[in-house]
Amino acid sequence: MANSLQAVRGMNDLLPGETALWQSLEATLRTVLAGYGYQEIRLPLVEKTELFARSIGEVTDIVEKEMYTFADRNGDSLTLRPEGTAGCVRACIEHGLLHNQTQRLWYVGPMFRYEKPQKGRYRQFHQVGAEAYGMVGPDIDAELICLSARLWRQLGIRDVTLQINSLGSSAARAAYRERLVAYLTTRHAELDEDSRRRLHTNPLRVLDSKNPAMTAVIAEAPSLLDHLDPDSQDHFAGLRALLDAAGVAYTMNPRLVRGLDYYCKTVFEWVTDTLGAQGTICAGGRYDGLIAQLGGEAVPGVGFALGLERLAAMLAATGYPATEPPPHVYLILAGEVAQRMGLALAERLRDEVAGLRLRMNCGGGSFKAQFRRADSSGARFALVVGDDELAAKTVSIKPLRAAQTAQLTLPEDQAIAYLQAAMQDGQP
Ligand code: HAM
């Protein structure tokens, strides 16, 4: 396919055969989010670059090397959003949504990161995110986790486990960071290149290394959980008690540090081993300092985002039922006059028969060819309008799926009543 135009690497088309699954997935997500009182917020795809540098953190992978940043015609530095939390906080501050009130918000849409594309990791990918503001206790953390657990149940996903950790307050983390750097320095010879680089920029991320050669160094590192401040300890104990009471199983993972800088206290990830290397389908945590850091009031926040490509891949593997429904009616227009009259009839049928999915034959074709198309469309009925029918102001109806059912010829009004009745009988 030399010289042909292709999509940008890591940015995928979603073809008609795949969209039914996505629509069904999105509908389930909307229903579950509404069940917890979350309201949708729609945010721009592009924000000022500074927003991400100041929230996600200057020395994170995302900001250092994964952002799609460009100067607009005015010379302003803009960035395609790599995630949704920063923009959501920016919008809430800008529109005064956080003053003396709580918020439960959600969003869906594409995010952009210049990562190495592979299965489950793309440069344009889609997240559904949920963010809650103004609630300081672990009850809202636990509710968000219950919400995500309900999503998996509703979607029939079983192979996921929940990992939780607490990062503590920023002061506790700073003290821990010093101890960790001191420890890692004693093991310097065993550190891989990435970890050496991170040692002085973002040492907590060393704990997150997936390199098997680093396993021993990481296993023997001091644990963040032993360095939590009392408030974070209480919060974490409160969260665990709530999850226990709600029957949500979890594992404590003291190495879970997340790749964005804004977190404090609770962090969590839902992981699966059915997707290969990119096994995190949903991740989030608390970010109590972020709103003030971006110029808002000192309001706490907590949330998560899930990756729709990863979820869709899991669902496709479980045979999740999602196909576009076939039309109820295929309208065959035999003859020139019928072709002229067909559009008005099709519109009348759609007006009068609630919920009708009607596909009109366009582009002509012999009667036989049109019948073949009607059959392969999967429609339940072929409706035939030809010269005879037009002269008598009738329509012929041929059931295509029922064995041995003869064609009926009915006046238009009766044909409409027939279709209305057929729509009630529960058959597709
Ligand atoms: P994140 O861990 O960077 O967190 O991303 C959340 C989820 O998005 C991941 O668990 C994964 O399912 C999906 N994801 C991330 N990168 C890619 C990629 N390149 N290709 C496909 N899927 C991907 C955040 O973005 C935070 N904003 C989550 C959050 C919301 N925390 C608090 N509120």
Q: Distance, CA 306 to ligand 1 centroid (Å)?
A: 6
Does residue 119 sit in the same domain as residue 57?
Answer: yes
How far does residue 199's CA lie from ligand 1's centre (Å)? Answer: 24
262 falls within a domain:
yes
**301 plus 416 within the same structural domain:** no
Please report, for the domain that includes residue 405, its CATH number: 3.40.50.800
In a domain, 324, yes or no: no
CATH number, domain at 58? 3.30.930.10
d(CA 325, CA 20): 9
352 ligand 1 Cβ < 6 A? no
Q: Residue 426 — pLDDT band, cuts 50, 70, 90? A: confident
Specify whether 82 is located in the same domain as 119: yes
Of 2-6, 147-151, 337-341, which gets the smallest average pLDDT?
Answer: 2-6
User: Considering the domain boundaries, does residue 291 fall inside one?
Assistant: yes
- Ligand 1 centroid to Cα of residue 276, in Å, is 16
Which domain does 299 fall in, by range?
Answer: 16-168+228-318
Separation of alpha carbons 320 and 316, rounded Å: 6
Can you tell me which residue has the tokens 């010379």?
75
From 281, 299, 318, give the residue that closes a domain: 318
Same domain, 333 and 302: no
- 179-205 average pLDDT score: 91
Distance in Å, CA 215 to ligand 1 centroid: 24
Our answer on whether the CB atom of 328 is closer than 6 Å to any ligand 1 atom is no
Residue 2 scores a pLDDT above 70: no
Please compute the mean of the pLDDT values over residues 43-52 and round it to a whole number.
98
For the beta carbon of residue 205, count every other beta carbon within 10 angstroms: 20
- In this structure, which amino acid lies at residue 76? D
pLDDT of residue 428: 65
Instruction: Answer yes or no: is the C-beta of 125 below 6 A from any ligand 1 atom.
Output: yes
297 in a known ligand binding site: no
Determine if residue 58 is labeled as part of a ligand binding site: no
Both 348 and 299 in a single domain? Answer: no
Mean pLDDT of the chain: 94
Our answer on whether the CB atom of 150 is closer than 6 Å to any ligand 1 atom is: no
Q: What is the pLDDT of residue 3?
A: 66
Is the CB of 339 within 6 Å of ligand 1?
no
CB of 303 shorter than 6 A to ligand 1: yes
Which pLDDT value is given to residue 305?
98
Q: Is the C-beta atom of 279 inside 6 A of ligand 1?
A: no
Q: What is the reported pTM? A: 0.92
Q: Are residues 139 and 277 in the same domain?
A: yes
| Residue 269 annotated as part of some ligand binding site | no
The rounded distance, in Å, linking the Cα atoms of 97 and 111 is 23
Q: Is the CB of 56 under 6 A from ligand 1?
A: no
Tell me the pLDDT band of 259, cut-offs 50, 70 and 90: confident
pLDDT of residue 387: 86
Contacts of 174 (CB under 8 A, 6+ apart): none
Helix (H) or strand (E) holding 130: strand 124-133
Per cent of the chain over pLDDT 70 is: 99
Q: Using 50, 70 and 90 to split pLDDT, how confident is the model at 381? A: very high
CA nearest ligand 1 atom 8, residue: 307
User: For ligand 1, is residue 309 a contact (CB within 6 Å)?
Assistant: yes
Mean pLDDT on 291-316: 97
Task: Give the ligand 1 atom nearest the CA of 303.
Answer: 33
Q: Is 357 annotated as a binding residue?
A: no
Residue 84 annotated as part of some ligand binding site = yes
Q: Return the pLDDT at 402.
A: 82
127 and 95 co-located in one domain: yes
* 82 has pLDDT over 90: yes
Q: For ligand 1, atom 16, which residue shows the shortest CA distance?
A: 121
* CA nearest neighbour of 416 among 356, 340, 364, 326: 356
Listed residues 259, 286, 318: the one ending a domain:
318
**Is 298 within the bounds of a domain?**
yes
Question: Which ligand 1 atom minimizes the distance to the CA of 121?
Answer: 20
Q: Is the CB of 83 under 6 A from ligand 1?
A: yes
Domain identity same for 306 and 336: no
In a domain, 191, yes or no: no
DSSP per residue, 188-215: GGG--HHHHHHHTT-GGGGGG---GGGH
Asked if residue 362 and residue 310 are part of one domain, the reply reads no
Q: Is residue 345 part of a domain?
A: yes
Query: Nearest Cα to 266, choosing from 294, 238, 244?
Result: 238
pLDDT in tens, 120-177: 999 999 999 999 999 999 999 999 999 999 999 999 999 999 999 999 998 898 899 9
Reply yes or no on whether the pLDDT at 296 is more than 90.
Answer: yes
Of 284, 318, 352, the residue at which a domain comes to its end is 318
- Minimum mean pLDDT range among 81-95, 212-226, 254-268, 311-325: 311-325
Q: How many helices (H) and strands (E) does the chain have?
A: 15, 16
Same domain, 42 and 136: yes
Alpha carbon of 239 to ligand 1 centroid (Å): 22
* Percent of the chain clearing pLDDT 90 (strictly above): 81
Counted residue by residue, the chain has a size of: 428
CA–centroid distance, 293 to ligand 1, in Å, is 21
Q: Does residue 111 belong to any structural domain of this protein?
A: yes
- Ligand 1 pocket member 261 (CB < 6 A): no
Averaged pLDDT, 287-299: 96
Counting ligand 1 atoms within 8 A of each CB, the residue from 125, 148, 286, 294 with the most, and so the one to mutate, is 125
418 assigned ligand-binding residue? no
Task: Identify whether residues 59 and 140 lie together within a single domain.
Answer: yes
Q: Check whether residue 313 and residue 356 sit in a common domain.
A: no
pLDDT at 1 over 60: no
What distances in angstroms separate CA 78 from CA 62, 75, 82, 93, one per listed residue? 15, 9, 12, 19
pLDDT of residue 202: 86
Instruction: Flag whether 149 is in a domain.
Output: yes
Q: What is the pLDDT of residue 278?
A: 87
Q: Is the CB of 304 under 6 A from ligand 1?
A: yes
Number of domains composing the chain: 2
Euclidean distance between CA atoms 145 and 284, whole angstroms: 9
